[in-house]
């Protein structure tokens, strides 16, 4: 049995951890240009606000209805996410982080009555240790685990844990009432086409012939149907393997302490990594930047910093990846060292078709995504035909513009000792 642990309104929960006065109150987190709402508490949803609502629409609610909006604070979310994963790892047989707020957990080897108890215990531990409420769905396949997770989240009577045993009445009942479009891997277009065939629920889809759907649609849909039929067909990276990574790094011609040279190298590595990412049809959710001094030069001071930044949505857009890399570089670069090497690593890489369905990405419009896709396509084509680096991203303003946008960001508790928030209202 496989489980998916999903943090409830993760960004909001992170904000509330240090602002418990905001429990039970409407809270939202904005996208990284403060443009629109990307995370909502239930109380905010109850006011009729939805994912993707532009921030300026909410001005009145902020003034009169006690809505609190935060700029996104990825340093905090990233750290809390790692803590949640650490707790899950400590108390389970194995984990496979899926996104900043979701993690697959190995639930094999439990007897039926133990399993449910164990899941509840896991949920309790995560809440106690990290303060983050989670929902857990457990089932024979990943697709069904996702179904179970949604039920655990929506239906209070499950108390955050829903286990679907093979062939159980509960599974049948749940699938019969589970909307087609909510199934993991069923995008909007596929949803429309299937409805024309009279397939409206997960149960309808489960009763289809998988091979037949493969012929008419795709191998992906076949897998989804198999998974609904309790046959595991979607393997992620495997529980014991590190996630796939894309790394681009190079040594400088000679040791350098010229910041603009380092910056140029990182920009280039970031673009090259993004190209590799697009080539394999994947998206990434996190970027790591590292710098190295020369370890053999004992006469020089050594400094080998690296830091990861989480992206707010899975992306393959060079502009996002370059901007993120630049932010990390600004953070880790320290003058006074002779750097030998610099590199960029893309992490948390996932399949494009799957990743785009995740909740966080819905804040990004399809139009925007299509535009980014076209632009990147043209860039790759030109670079391929006319030589690498024919088209490159310039050094768009990073620092100043960035600062301005984070107007309502909570303190970065995890990475800045000097950002000390008052714990009082």
Partner 1 sequence: MSHVILAGTFQSAPTSMEIPCAEVMVRAGIAGFASPAEDYAATSLDMNERYIKHPAATFIFRVQGDSMEEYRIFEGDHLIVDRSVTPRPGHVVVALVEGELTVKKWLERGNRQLLCSGGNRYPPISMTDVEVQIWGVVRSGHVEFQI
Residues in contact with partner 1 by CB under 8 A are 18, 20-21, 79, 82-87, 90, 128-131, 411, 413-414, 416-417, 420-425
For residues 20 and 54, which CB has a smaller minimum distance to partner 1 in the complex?
A: 20
DSSP 190-226: HHHHHHHTT--BHHHHHTS-HHHHHHHT-HHHHHHHH
Cα separation, 330 vs 86, in Å, equals 28
Tell me the closest approach of the beta carbon of residue 267 to partner 1, in angstroms: 27
For residues 22 and 213, which CB has a smaller minimum distance to partner 1 in the complex?
A: 22
306-315, strands of its sheet edge to edge: 246-256, 339-351, 282-293, 306-315
For residues 86 and 357, which CB has a smaller minimum distance to partner 1 in the complex?
A: 86
Q: Alpha-carbon torsion 179, 183, 187, 193, what sign?
A: negative
Tell me the closest approach of the beta carbon of residue 258 to partner 1, in angstroms: 28
The single-letter DSSP state of residue 36 is B
Burial-class residue 127 by CB neighbours within 10 Å (0-12, 13-18, 19+): middle
CB 99 within 8 A of CB 81: no
Tell me the closest approach of the beta carbon of residue 421 to partner 1, in angstroms: 6
Q: CB-based contacts of 125: which residues, under 8 Å, 6+ apart?
A: 87, 91
For residues 158 and 303, which CB has a smaller minimum distance to partner 1 in the complex?
A: 303
Tell me the closest approach of the beta carbon of residue 103 to partner 1, in angstroms: 13
Tell me the closest approach of the beta carbon of residue 335 to partner 1, in angstroms: 21
Tell me the closest approach of the beta carbon of residue 249 to partner 1, in angstroms: 22
Tell me the closest approach of the beta carbon of residue 125 to partner 1, in angstroms: 8
CB 126 within 8 A of CB 81: no
156 C-beta neighbours (distance < 10 Å), count: 8
For residues 400 and 425, which CB has a smaller minimum distance to partner 1 in the complex?
A: 425
Cα separation, 325 vs 407, in Å, equals 21
For residues 193 and 416, which CB has a smaller minimum distance to partner 1 in the complex?
A: 416
Q: Alpha-carbon torsion 115, 117, 120, 124, what sign?
A: negative
Tell me the closest approach of the beta carbon of residue 328 to partner 1, in angstroms: 15
Which residue in the block uniquely carries the two structure tokens 């108890």? 117
For residues 150 and 409, which CB has a smaller minimum distance to partner 1 in the complex?
A: 409
- CA–chain centroid gap for 288, Å, is 15
For residues 128 and 254, which CB has a smaller minimum distance to partner 1 in the complex?
A: 128
């Amino acid at each position: 049995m496989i489980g998916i642990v999903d943090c409830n309104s993760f960004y909001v929960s992170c904000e509330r951890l240090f602002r418990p006065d905001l429990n039970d109150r409407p809270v939202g987190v904005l996208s990284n240009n403060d443009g629109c709402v990307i995370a909502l508490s239930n109380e905010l949803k109850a006011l009729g606000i939805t994912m993707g609502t532009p921030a300026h629409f909410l001005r009145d609610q902020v003034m009169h209805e006690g809505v609190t909006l935060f700029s996104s604070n990825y340093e905090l979310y990233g750290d809390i996410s790692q803590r949640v994963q650490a707790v899950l790892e400590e108390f389970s047989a194995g984990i496979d982080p899926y996104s900043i707020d979701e993690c697959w957990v190995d639930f094999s080897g439990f007897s039926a009555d133990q399993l449910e108890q164990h899941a509840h215990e896991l949920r309790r531990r995560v809440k106690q240790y990290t303060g983050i409420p989670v929902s857990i769905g457990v089932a024979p396949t990943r697709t069904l685990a996702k179904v179970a997770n949604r039920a655990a989240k929506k239906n209070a009577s499950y108390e955050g844990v829903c286990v679907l045993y093979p062939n159980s009445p509960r599974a049948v009942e749940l699938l019969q009432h589970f909307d087609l479009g909510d199934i993991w891997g069923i995008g909007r277009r596929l949803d429309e086409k299937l409805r024309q065939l009279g397939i409206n629920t997960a149960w309808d889809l489960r009763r289809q012939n998988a091979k037949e759907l493969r012929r008419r649609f795709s191998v992906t849909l076949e897998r989804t149907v198999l998974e609904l039929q309790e046959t595991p067909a979607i393997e992620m990276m495997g529980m014991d393997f590190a996630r796939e990574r894309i790394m681009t790094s190079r040594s400088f011609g000679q040791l350098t302490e010229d910041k603009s040279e380092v910056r140029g190298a990182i920009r280039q590595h970031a673009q090259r990594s993004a190209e590799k990412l697009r080539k394999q049809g994947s998206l990434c959710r996190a970027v790591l930047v590292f710098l190295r001094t020369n370890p053999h030069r004992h006469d020089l001071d050594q400094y080998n910093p690296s830091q990861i930044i989480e992206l707010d949505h899975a992306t393959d857009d060079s502009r996002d990846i370059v901007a993120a890399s630049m932010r990390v570089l600004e953070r880790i670069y320290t003058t006074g060292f002779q750097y030998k090497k610099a590199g960029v690593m893309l992490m948390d890489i996932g399949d494009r078709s799957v990743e785009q369905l995740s909740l966080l990405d819905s804040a990004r419009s399809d139009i925007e995504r299509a535009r980014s896709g076209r632009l990147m396509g043209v860039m790759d084509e030109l670079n391929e035909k006319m030589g690498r680096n024919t088209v490159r991203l310039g050094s768009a303003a990073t620092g100043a513009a960035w600062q301005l946008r984070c107007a309502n960001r909570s303190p970065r508790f995890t990475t800045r000792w000097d950002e000390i928030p008052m714990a009082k209202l």
